[in-house]
Every structure is written in C-alpha cells, then in structure tokens.
Amino acid sequence: MKFIANLAILKKLGQAEHEIGYKLVFKQIPDVWINGLMRCDMTRTWKKFGLKISRGANYFTVGQIKNDVSSRFTLGETGYQSWLGGYTVKLKEAREWTLQDHLNLAVADQKSWLRRYGDVYPVCDFREANSKTIASISLGDYSGTLYEGSCITHSDVGNGFANIWLKLSASVMAAAFNVSNPKINLHGKSLRPQSKGKSYENLRLKGYIAIFDIEKDVKVVLYGNGVVESNEVRINTFEIIKSDIRRAMELCEIVRV
C-alpha cells in the first residue's frame, strides 16, 4: 500500500515539475533537520485555498530524528516546529505577486498540515506587515530577495497523534523521504508525535523566506523557521538555527527540468 501511494506521489510530482519547468535540489541539509526531502505536488492544496496557480510543488524536511521521533514534535528541541524547504509555482497568468501573495503559499500549506495532524481549527496568521527585507540572494543564474518574517500559528502536537489517517500519512511521507535518501531508513512513527502533548498550542514562528522570479509566471520560494514564542517554555530556536537556514538556502539549486 505504501509503495503504491509513494509511486502515485512521485508520478504527480514528476508531472508538476515538468509543467512548472523547474525543480529544487538541496545540496546540503544541516544536522538540525532530517537529511532527506519530502517532495510533493501542492497544486490541489493551493487551489483549495483560492490561490491563483496552475501548478505547484513542495520540497521540505523537518527536525532530525532523536529517540526514534522527529525533534519537530519535542518541545525544547532545536528542531521543534521547524521547517526547511522550498516551493516551485507556476501561476495561472503572468502578473506581479505581492509579498503577501507569496506568504499565502505558506499559510495554506501550514493550515493543511495542521489539519492532517488533527487540528480542527488550524491557525496561521502570516502578514506582510510582520516581514522585512534582509538582503539580496543569488542561486546560480537566479537572483532573489531574502526576507525575515514571523507568524502566529499552532503546534502540530495534539490529541490527533494516534488517528489512523495520520499513521498512514506519516508512513507514506517516510517512504518518500527514504526515496530521496535511502540511508536514513525512516519509519512512519518517527513523523508523528508519540504521545499527546499540550494540544495544538499557540506559537510564534520566525524565519527566512527567499523569493525568486524565475520567469514571468514561475516562482521559487525558499523557507526555513524556528520558534520564538511558546505557551509552554521560553524558547528562541530561530537565533540558534538562522545561519543554518541561510546556508541551506544559499546551497540550494534551481534546476531546469
């Protein structure tokens, strides 16, 4: 079952990459995160949230495995609730996108993820007003702009940790990670909380987002974040990992398909 599901994911991803015309290759993933990527077609998710795209893909990783579970789910760990990854997007029509348009890709992605993990009322408040320009950034022949921003959202640790749908979904994700790097030998149980935590606590995430206009109707958006505020503990992982995020972004390759 997992094999068939993974083949379907890879087939859809290949179709998306071909239509978009580009894919992302992360050449170096720092030790904070799993050394592999979950790669998937995001078209349906983004269209569901009303975003004007023709096709989209997502490439991401989460906190490294500690004690058989991703540190993404362990309060106090450096990788807690951290993302590292990127989007490729082909627009329905060539037009200028605002910074908020780009941020809305992450909003839709985060809300969809939280629902998968059992959050009935997912929250992601990510506004252009809470972002600032940091620097120019170049990846090969492509130049973009690096921003720093923050959002209010929920943790994905809650009472949905043991539902059957999440168990199946986590197993499929693990298989996809293993395709990207067979050496990690990831198992589904590592990609979901192993026990109920404080249900979907409020968080403030802070991170970098790098935006590249590849063609008039093609975008690349790289992202990475840490946690700067939690209801449960005093925490600021962004200050610890922000240099790792930038290094991973700067070594990412935008590859023409």
Q: Among candidates 254, 211, 216, which has minimal Cα distance to 91?
A: 216
- Give pLDDT tens digits for 104-126: 999 999 999 999 999 999 999 99
State the virtual CA torsion across 199, 73, 207, 139 in degrees, nearest 10.
-140
Q: In this model, does residue 1 exceed pLDDT 80?
A: no
Query: How do the domains of the chain map onto residue ranges?
Result: 2-256
Q: How confident is the model at residue 229 (pLDDT cuts 50, 70, 90)?
A: confident
Neighbouring-strand partners of residue 229: 204
Residue 127 CA: distances (Å) to CA of 22, 85, 97, 149, 176 = 27, 20, 14, 8, 31
Encoded amino acid at 92, one letter: K
Please answer whether residues 208 and 224 qualify as being in contact, where contact means their C-beta atoms are separated by less than 8 angstroms: yes
Q: What is the mean pLDDT of residues 178-188?
A: 94
The C-alpha atoms of residue 38 and residue 177 are separated, in whole angstroms, by: 5
Q: How far is CA 174 from CA 20, 70, 116, 224, 234, in A?
A: 25, 11, 15, 20, 31
In percent, the amount of the chain with pLDDT more than 90 equals 84
Across the range 154-165, mean pLDDT stands at 88
> Per-residue pLDDT averaged across 98-108, rounded?
98
Percentage helix, strand, coil, to 5, in the chain?
A: 30, 35, 30
pLDDT digits (tens, 9 = 90+) for 7-65: 666 778 889 999 999 999 999 999 999 999 999 999 999 999 999 999 999 999 999 99
| Residue 10 or 101, more confident | 101
Q: Strand pairing of 202-215 and 69-70?
A: unpaired
Report the alpha-carbon distance of residue 73 to residue 80 in Å, rounded: 6
pTM of the predicted structure, to 2 decimals: 0.95
- Among 52, 41, 131, smallest CA distance to 97 is for 52
The predicted pLDDT at position 198 comes to 63
Q: Return the pLDDT at 213.
A: 97
pLDDT-derived band of residue 2, with 50, 70 and 90 as boundaries? low
When the pLDDT of each residue in the chain is averaged and rounded to a whole number, the result is 93
In which element (H, E) is residue 13 found?
Answer: helix 2-20
Using alpha carbons only, give the angle 184, 156, 235 rounded to the nearest 5 degrees: 90
Q: In whole angstroms, what is the distance from residue 48 CA to residue 210 CA?
A: 24
pLDDT confidence bin for 214, thresholds 50/70/90: very high
| pLDDT at residue 235, as a whole number | 84
pLDDT of 166 higher than 70: yes
Helix (H) / strand (E) element for 150: namely strand 142-154
User: Does the pLDDT value for residue 5 go beyond 60?
Assistant: no
Contact 248, 227 (CB under 8 A): no
